[in-house]
Chain A
Amino acid sequence: MKTVNNRGWFFVIPVVILVAFNALIPMMTVVNYSVQETFGNNVFFWQGLDWFEQILRSDRFQAALGRQFLFTAIILAIEVPLGIAVALCMPRKGFWVPVCLVLMALPMLIPWNVVGSMWNIFALPKIGMLGYFMNDVLGVNYDMTQNRLAAWITIVVMDVWHWTSLVVLLCYAGLVSIPDAYYQAAKIDGASNWAVFRYIQLPKMKTVLTIAILLRFMDSFNIYTEPFVLTGGGPGNSTTLLSIDLVKIALGQFDLGPAAAMSLIYFAITLLVSWIFYTVMTKDDPS
């Protein structure tokens, strides 16, 4: 009979305590808030499931949710193929490896709000380099403070600039772990570049790519600071993503009950998509 030593689980206790305090207790509080109404002073009145009903049926929530899904879909559709392409172009050995890695890591080291203000100044017409170049040199009417499309393009480009490196670095880590023997065998068999990519590189990158897509999905679905600093949700409501709307309801209007209900719906969506994605990607693994 095989005996299993489960004492290793005791080492997990610090993490459990940490998660309890930074996730579980706030989460339980949100559940409590979502079924009650408060006007401050810790006085609560029972409201039942009214907030959920109200939020699910409100046009405002549905619009923000639609924008959020659109944003995440665009981000993933650009960043994942772009990240793989850049990772394939990076050198495997030699002097340029550390240079490329550091250059790739740089955007990720910049805090979110700094990225937002950088791009804000960069893209403002008349002041920013990009805005000036587009308007006065190319003659394109580009104003992210007035034009919805320009605002969307700016937040998408900003996110691509900030986070493609994550996909690149993860894919690169997957690529350099492929032994040379695979490539030699492919060469002997006369495999094309596409075949090498399709049958050697992509399967070997699958695990890291899963993590990359999962991280990018969750981060872009929960994105707040960058679009908030860049456009503040405007012009109009055109870039008011779900998190920006949530903060407006919770802290701007101080409607804690509806905000709690909305954040639970938000959480349920994130959880479901992440779970489906993870399950589908790891389904065939024996581990």
Chain B
Amino acid sequence: MTTSTKGTAKAPAVLVLEDGRVFRGRAYGAVGVTFGEAVFSTGMTGYQETLTDPSYHRQVVVMTAPHVGNTGVNDEDPESKRIWVAGYVVRDPARVPSNWRARRSLDEELRTQGVVGISGIDTRALTRHLRERGAMRVGIFSGSALPDEDTMLAEVRQAPEMKGADLSAEVATKKTYVVPAIGEKKFTVAAVDLGIKGMTPHRMAERGIEVHVLPATATAEEVFAVNPDGVFFSNGPGDPATADHPVSVMQAVLERGTPLFGICFGNQILGRALGFGTYKLKYGHRGINQPVQDRTTGKVEVTAHNHGFAVDAPLDKVSDTPYGRAEVSHVCLNDNVVEGLQLLDKPAFSVQYHPEAAAGPHDAAYLFDRFVSLMEGQRA
């Protein structure tokens, strides 16, 4: 029941959710078996960026956009050195790529990197299911010899859950590396890699920042050894409740008063460092069309999101924290989820979404300028 492909009929594939719902389609990418947390992404562009975003580690991504792979794969757009998604679910994969920058097809890339996918299923039905029941474990099984449904379901139910998963170290760099400033160097930033996307240091480099990307395991001493004008905590996969080490490093940075900026996982860590809790959203925010209001200006920005957890902080008041007063600076207008935090007495802020925007709109790029201002202010 799927797109016929030239000559070779694709092997059958089955997608099994942990609550027992089954979708049957055809293999896409590598043939085999994979498990992960089923999440859906609503972006209509930017599959290459999505696939290579380390935050998707151990997740099986369902694309709501039906046509995927149309522009093939190029060498400029990946957000990291490899594909991180655990599995890929699309409805109508492209048969030929068409773009002046394309080097190869997406199907080819998925196969080369061993990413198991499924195509030709009712992705909207699956999305609605996840919306109503919440993100859950899933398995994709493809190939000519498939086990029966009960066996598959049992295997899915044995796979690890996302709640409680500590994954940053698995995706982060093992060694420190430096992204040089573009043009004149104005600042040095220590960026703690919890699963950083390539565009983030690039956005900083564009603003004259030399970015020292440190492993997730970096200590406060190692961070300060860079002699940073500012410290950055990146996005990344997993449950923020497990991220005790980054939280303690961040607390040291807050103590010292070095300008601090966090994105996504970095926002959740700031939340925890300030004493707020975090929780798992029913099905998360994954897309590039989310309206976020900057509560300081009232302006609405259309932003890129990829988060399954959120910070539990009061929207209606300023909170007292060990590091002074803190407030929710940004909120998602769809569901009032906390999308940003800022300290009023110290130079620190973070957002839950992705101002580096790859993929996604560039509306929130001003946040990098805000980080630069903080560092300038500290210097003055």
Q: Do A and B bind each other?
A: no
